[in-house]
A and B are shown apart, each in its own frame.
Chain A
Amino acid sequence: MKKVFVVLLAMLFVVSAFSFKAIMVTDTGGLGDKSFNDGTWAGIVRAAKELGVESKVIQSYEQADYISNLSKAAEEVQKEPDGGIVYAVGFMMTDALFQVAQQYPDVYFAGIDIAPPTENVPPNVVTFLFKEQESAFLVGYVAAATTRVGKVGFIGGIPIPPVERFRYGFETGVKVYNDLHGTNVTIIKGYTNHFSDPKKGKDLALSQFAEGVDIIFHASGACGNGVIEAAKEKMVSLVGSEDLSKIIEYAFENGGIFAMGVDVDQDYMAPGVVLASAMKGVDTASYMGVMWAYNGEWEPGVHVLGLAEDGVRMSPMKYTKGLVSNRTLAELEYLVTLIKEGTLVIPDTEESLNSFRTPKIEFPF
């Protein structure tokens, strides 16, 4: 009995000795945005569960909260015997993150979608950026392979860097498909200049459909819900039913009207009508950050995650896989390996997009 007690006590010591905390400070979007904040939190929770450490979230309600919330989180982490890590989520928190990180050099900080404003990143900070262009490349390729009219559309929100990277990738995907298959699929591009006006997204999507496109990829935040709604309205009117199997059957025979989602797997928002989504794996990034801080494998600086790092990917096309030929799917697989190897580099700037030439690609089948 005594022995058991001693063992238990020893275990208690061990457990309490490893007290480590991962705290996430949201941006004003907060939890529930189905994008950054939710994704980052999912990754933290996954890591915390695996390691058996504590995780916590602090919501920011306005931009003025960023600095005070990050400081609060850092103070809390400092009290833990084994320290911990503080997450800042979203491009808008850039300044706050670097300001606070300098005041707490013994606390680990991680930023999601944050590019450091200066060359010198403090040794306690990692930031994660994503190769949006790589996942957009894949959906662009799928779009070019699926369109029956040879015209596809792109709708961006405000042309900020992540949105533009999605566009570069999409354009490259279409171009590569054209070059490999001798087709001439063209792209119509437009911007809503907004991220939270779904009606605007819908109107612009209807305009593009009126110009004859049959697939639209959006990178426009909540405006995209309007884009998806526009596609759904058109498709349902064509098919005469909202039933998934009827939609797929119709689309298989006659083609149809599709939207493509962004950031997270949006295929479920209109099953059968959202062809695929270009996903951004913020959860992978936040998971990695916690692991590094906990295991002491800290690599400060900027980390850019692409297909190779599992930082971006295309949705599994749960509802619409049957609409894409097996050959196209196999080609996609092969292109993914080329991108992972670094043989195929997707442009991430306007200049590199303009000078992009499709390399010689021989499919091994």
Chain B
Amino acid sequence: MRILEAIFLVFINPLFYKITLTAATPLIFASLGGVYSEITGVVNIALEGIMLLGAFTSVLFTWLTGNVWIGVFMAVISGLALAWLHAWGSIKWAGNQVVLGTALILIAQGVTGFLMEPIFGKPGQTDFVGKVEELRIPGLADIPFIGKVFGELSPFVYMAFAAVAFSWWLIYKTRLGLRMRSVGENPEAADTLGINVYGIRYFGVLMSGVWAGLAGAYLSVGEVGHFRELMSGGRGFIALAAMILGNYNPVGAMLASLLFGASSAFANQMQSSSLIHVSATVKPLFDMIPFVLTIIVVAGFVGKSHVPKADGVPYEKEA
């Protein structure tokens, strides 16, 4: 009974919803990146590496210029650069996309780790360099409950939802979106109809770099204001799971990201609950909640998902 009471208290706590939003934001960005790349037929597991590089670049340029938004912008540029490498290897040279993605993650980890010493003078972590201010919407903060959730949020949270709306429109309502999807389903047919398969795929992969770069910037200058080696902490892979769970659809990916965010907020809140008395050594088990939930959702609620048919298959023009 205590457990039920604790669960109930979690759900009526407005801060649970706020933490859900902030935990889901990097996942929303990164899973959007996954959607762009994979619907055009390129598997992009490099999201984790792009996020890490984005987190590093945004801190670096915030530190150099003193302006966080320049930092965020440069995170996008660095994301584009790493994504371009992925595109170049997997589209132009038809390399194995999973191997390439893995290599890029390792490169990002190596480069950021290596550059710490010459740039910041010490490995490990940087000092606080500054962060994006929370957005305070006047009036909203005074409404009970809702004010506590939305009263003070990072602008990144709003950007993430705007990005989802934009992506949905782009992918399902425009000619470019139709082409992206057709290239991912049947590149031969698309090519016959005169669609530039390589160009569209480049676009998809590069856009994934933009979104994953933003996800990284959110983690560092958006939330904690400094960089720490390996700070992406596996979120790139969770974002991939969210993308698959969301059926390769921006809105679905957003919902799945929110689910993951909610379950990690739930896990935090439950292990912080003063109602349940479990020994401290059992507490790390709460971290399993998101993954148990994933298994339940995937096994029980999600119907057959539609994978883009040409996903992961390099397209080579017949001579």
Pairing of A with B: yes
Are B19 and A210 in contact, with the CB atoms below 8 A? yes
With A190-B272, A191-B284 known to touch, is A203 a contact of B228 (CB < 8 Å)?
A: no
Whether A303 is near chain B, meaning CB under 8 Å from some CB there, is no
Whether A204 is near chain B, meaning CB under 8 Å from some CB there, is yes
Are B271 and A199 in contact, with the CB atoms below 8 A? no
Cα A156 to Cα B125 in complex, Å, equals 19
Are A211 and B269 in contact, with the CB atoms below 8 A? yes
Whether B224 is near chain A, meaning CB under 8 Å from some CB there, is yes
Whether A202 is near chain B, meaning CB under 8 Å from some CB there, is yes
B72 to chain A, nearest CB (A): 16
Within 8 A of B (CB), among A155-212: 156, 158-159, 164, 167, 186, 188-191, 193-194, 196-200, 202-204, 206-211
Contact pattern, B 210-251, Cβ under 8 Å of A = 1, otherwise 0: 000000000100011110111101000000000000000000
Contact pattern, A 50-82, Cβ under 8 Å of B = 1, otherwise 0: 000000000000000000000000000000000
B9 to chain A, nearest CB (A): 9
Measured between beta carbons, the chain B residues less than 8 angstroms from A199 are: 26, 219, 223-224, 231, 233
Are B284 and A159 in contact, with the CB atoms below 8 A? yes
Of A158, A159, A202, A225, which is within 8 A of B125 by CB? A225
Are A197 and B271 in contact, with the CB atoms below 8 A? no
Of A158, A194, A202, A350, which is within 8 A of B224 by CB? A202
Are A200 and B223 in contact, with the CB atoms below 8 A? no
Cα A189 to Cα B281 in complex, Å, equals 10
Within 8 A of B (CB), among A344-358: 350
Are A188 and B224 in contact, with the CB atoms below 8 A? no
Measured between beta carbons, the chain A residues less than 8 angstroms from B283 are: 159, 189-191
Measured between beta carbons, the chain A residues less than 8 angstroms from B121 are: 32
Interface majority SS (helix, strand, loop, mixed), chain B: helix
Are B272 and A153 in contact, with the CB atoms below 8 A? yes
Whether B191 is near chain A, meaning CB under 8 Å from some CB there, is no
Residue in chain B with minimal CB distance to A29: B124
With A167-B280, A237-B152 known to touch, is A32 a contact of B224 (CB < 8 Å)?
A: no
Whether A31 is near chain B, meaning CB under 8 Å from some CB there, is yes
Cα A261 to Cα B279 in complex, Å, equals 23
Are B19 and A203 in contact, with the CB atoms below 8 A? yes
Of B26, B229, B268, B274, which is within 8 A of A204 by CB? B268
Of A31, A151, A204, which is within 8 A of B122 by CB? A31
Residue in chain A with minimal CB distance to B234: A197
Residue in chain B with minimal CB distance to A197: B233
Cα A210 to Cα B18 in complex, Å, equals 10
Are B224 and A229 in contact, with the CB atoms below 8 A? yes
Whether B174 is near chain A, meaning CB under 8 Å from some CB there, is no
Are A159 and B124 in contact, with the CB atoms below 8 A? no
With A190-B271, A196-B231, A203-B265 known to touch, is A229 a contact of B223 (CB < 8 Å)?
A: yes
Cα A186 to Cα B283 in complex, Å, equals 17
Whether A301 is near chain B, meaning CB under 8 Å from some CB there, is no
Are B284 and A207 in contact, with the CB atoms below 8 A? no
Whether B23 is near chain A, meaning CB under 8 Å from some CB there, is yes
Within 8 A of A (CB), among B97-140: 116-117, 121-125, 128, 134
Are B122 and A197 in contact, with the CB atoms below 8 A? no
Cα A206 to Cα B223 in complex, Å, equals 12
Are A200 and B233 in contact, with the CB atoms below 8 A? yes
Contact pattern, B 19-47, Cβ under 8 Å of A = 1, otherwise 0: 10011001000000000000000000000
Residue in chain A with minimal CB distance to B20: A203
Whether B196 is near chain A, meaning CB under 8 Å from some CB there, is no
With A29-B124, A193-B287 known to touch, is A225 a contact of B226 (CB < 8 Å)?
A: yes
Interface size band for B: 35 or more
B284 to chain A, nearest CB (A): 5
Measured between beta carbons, the chain B residues less than 8 angstroms from A191 are: 271, 280, 283-284, 287
Whether A17 is near chain B, meaning CB under 8 Å from some CB there, is no
Of B19, B231, B279, which is within 8 A of A207 by CB? B19
Residue in chain A with minimal CB distance to B227: A198
B11 to chain A, nearest CB (A): 12
Measured between beta carbons, the chain B residues less than 8 angstroms from A202 are: 223-224
Of B19, B124, B223, B230, which is within 8 A of A34 by CB? B124
A360 to chain B, nearest CB (A): 28
A170 to chain B, nearest CB (A): 11
Whether B15 is near chain A, meaning CB under 8 Å from some CB there, is yes
Cα A167 to Cα B284 in complex, Å, equals 14
Whether B16 is near chain A, meaning CB under 8 Å from some CB there, is yes
Contact pattern, A 219-232, Cβ under 8 Å of B = 1, otherwise 0: 00010011001000
Within 8 A of B (CB), among A221-251: 222, 225-226, 229, 233, 237
Cα A206 to Cα B23 in complex, Å, equals 11
Measured between beta carbons, the chain A residues less than 8 angstroms from B62 are: none
Whether B264 is near chain A, meaning CB under 8 Å from some CB there, is yes
Query: Which residue of A29, A33, A204 has the most chain B CB atoms within 10 A of its CB atom?
Result: A204
Cα A229 to Cα B226 in complex, Å, equals 10
Measured between beta carbons, the chain B residues less than 8 angstroms from A197 are: 228, 230-231, 233
With A202-B224, A211-B269 known to touch, is A32 a contact of B124 (CB < 8 Å)?
A: yes
Whether A11 is near chain B, meaning CB under 8 Å from some CB there, is no
Residue in chain A with minimal CB distance to B279: A350
B172 to chain A, nearest CB (A): 32
Whether A123 is near chain B, meaning CB under 8 Å from some CB there, is no
Are B274 and A151 in contact, with the CB atoms below 8 A? yes
Are A204 and B272 in contact, with the CB atoms below 8 A? yes
Of A164, A211, A233, which is within 8 A of B274 by CB? A211
Whether A255 is near chain B, meaning CB under 8 Å from some CB there, is no
Are A33 and B274 in contact, with the CB atoms below 8 A? no
A23 to chain B, nearest CB (A): 19
Nearest 10 A/B pairs, CB to CB? A32-B122, A210-B15, A207-B268, A197-B233, A198-B224, A190-B271, A33-B124, A208-B272, A211-B272, A207-B272
Residues of B in contact with A (beta carbons under 8 Å apart): 13, 15-16, 18-19, 22-23, 26, 116-117, 121-125, 128, 134, 152, 219, 223-226, 228-231, 233, 264-265, 268-269, 271-274, 279-281, 283-284, 287
A-B contact pairs, 5 of them (CB 8 A): A34-B125, A198-B226, A199-B224, A203-B22, A225-B224
